[in-house]
Amino acid sequence: MIKWAVIGTGQISRSIVPDMIQVGLDVHVVQSRDEAKAAAFAREFSIPRWESNFRAVLDDPAVKAVYIATPIATHARMATQAILAGKHVLVEKPLATTAAEVDELFVLARNTGVFLMEAMWMKFNPAYRRLHAELKADALGGPPTFLRAGFAIPFPEESNPSRWDVTLSGGALLDQAIYPVTLAHSLFGPPTRITAGGRVREDGLDLSEHVTLEYDDGRFAQFFTAMDEFGDCSASVGGPKGWLTLPPPFWATTDLEIHTGSFRTIFHSPDLRKNDREGNGFVPMLRAVAEALDNNLVEQPLHGAADTSAVFATLDAIRRQLGRRTAEKTATTSSHPR
């Protein structure tokens, strides 16, 4: 059995480790720069070993795979070190900060012969899989033509310090917008036109985005994100005969609403398809990772290098537009002093 190391002891690790255990993954060691936190985490989840030194984990020949859940700015660097050490790597989303970093990581993993995946759990969740199954079965009477989604939730700075730290690649884009962008790509592929705006602090930290992704055949996706205020956190996909809705929070829901049929059914009594949640919701993804490793794959087909890279290319384009709009606003303000 492959022995795993968990890197980081934050909330996401606290949520995913019980699911790793449920799937049957052998969590051998947990690492945190704070040795006391690592020791407490290990005791809580009955992990046999803890470490404060990342290098010591990578030098352990018993460890064959690592799950990285540290601040976003560290993902690419730590994943690179783990790959070079010959470890299989699962990195909490986002895998890196730019498409260039993503491409470099996948090339390195492929050349080293180890598995690499971004932990985009949404793509493995039963409601997401059911959405795609319904579309494949022509539930909308034709291909979907539009997507609307939102991920707007206030995250207090005192309990989410890294999210509010621009030096740690915090902000709404990489932590929140990645979900609707991933959903749009899975439905429509990479867009041909991107229009983006939002609110960016003076230090460059993005607080919100509103984005339209357009396609040459007329399809489009619109979404908004915010980390300092609430908004509708559902997602809907529409077509000729109705729409499908992932209820809030769309990236974690186990339910799917099917709004098709008569007008009464569409508006008042949609068909609700409920799915059981396994563990904290990470079980389907972890099971898929385990199956890929059992089959000696270096990528998971449901979320491989090409898909991940394309999403990050869109995120890069959104970031550039946010930066350009911020620069234009600054220039306008400077030229018209009060």
**Tokens (6 digits) for 241:** 């005969």
Name the E strands within the chain. Answer: 3-7, 26-31, 49-51, 63-68, 88-92, 116-119, 146-152, 193-200, 206-214, 220-226, 235-239, 242-246, 255-260, 271-274
Which pairing describes strands 26-31 and 49-51: parallel, antiparallel, or unpaired? parallel
Q: What is the mean pLDDT of residues 207-219?
A: 97
**Reported pTM:** 0.94
36 CB-near residues (< 8 Å, 6+ apart): none
Residue type, 301: P
Of the candidates 281, 312, 306, the residue with the CA atom closest to the CA atom of residue 121 = 281
Rounded to the nearest integer, the mean pLDDT of the chain is: 95
> Which pLDDT belongs to residue 229?
97
Quick one: DSSP state of residue 277?
P
> Which pLDDT belongs to residue 1?
84
Q: What is the mean pLDDT of residues 255-268?
A: 95
> Which pLDDT belongs to residue 161?
92
Number of Cβ within 10 Å of residue 129's Cβ equals 15
Q: Among the listed ranges 7-21, 154-168, 235-249, which one has the minimum average pLDDT value? A: 154-168
Q: What is the mean pLDDT of residues 270-279?
A: 95
> Which pLDDT belongs to residue 166?
94
> Which pLDDT belongs to residue 333?
47
> Which pLDDT belongs to residue 327?
57
Residue 20 to residue 279: CA distance in whole angstroms:
9
Does position 257 have pLDDT exceeding 50, yes or no?
A: yes
Element housing 331 (H / E): helix 305-335
- Cα 239 to Cα 46, 261, 267, distances in angstroms: 49, 12, 15
pLDDT tens per residue across span 120-149: 999 999 999 999 999 999 999 999 999 999
User: Known catalytic residues?
Assistant: 93
pLDDT tens per residue across span 154-188: 999 998 899 999 999 999 999 999 999 999 999 99
Q: Where are the domains of the chain?
A: 3-119, 123-282+313-326
Does position 279 have pLDDT exceeding 70, yes or no?
A: yes
pLDDT tens per residue across span 298-337: 999 999 999 999 999 999 999 999 987 655 554 544 445 5
DSSP string computed for 8-55 = --SHHHHHHHHHHHHHT-EEEEEE-SSHHHHHHHHHHTT-SEEES-HH
Which pairing describes strands 255-260 and 271-274: parallel, antiparallel, or unpaired? antiparallel
The correct CATH number of 123-282+313-326 out of 1.20.1260.10, 3.30.70.890, 3.30.360.10, 3.40.50.300 is 3.30.360.10
- The tally of CA atoms less than 13 A away on the side-chain side of residue 314 is 31
The correct CATH number of 3-119 out of 3.20.190.10, 3.40.50.150, 3.40.50.720, 3.30.1490.20 is 3.40.50.720
Percent of the chain with pLDDT over 70: 96
Q: What is the mean pLDDT of residues 58-83?
A: 98
Q: What is the mean pLDDT of residues 72-88?
A: 98
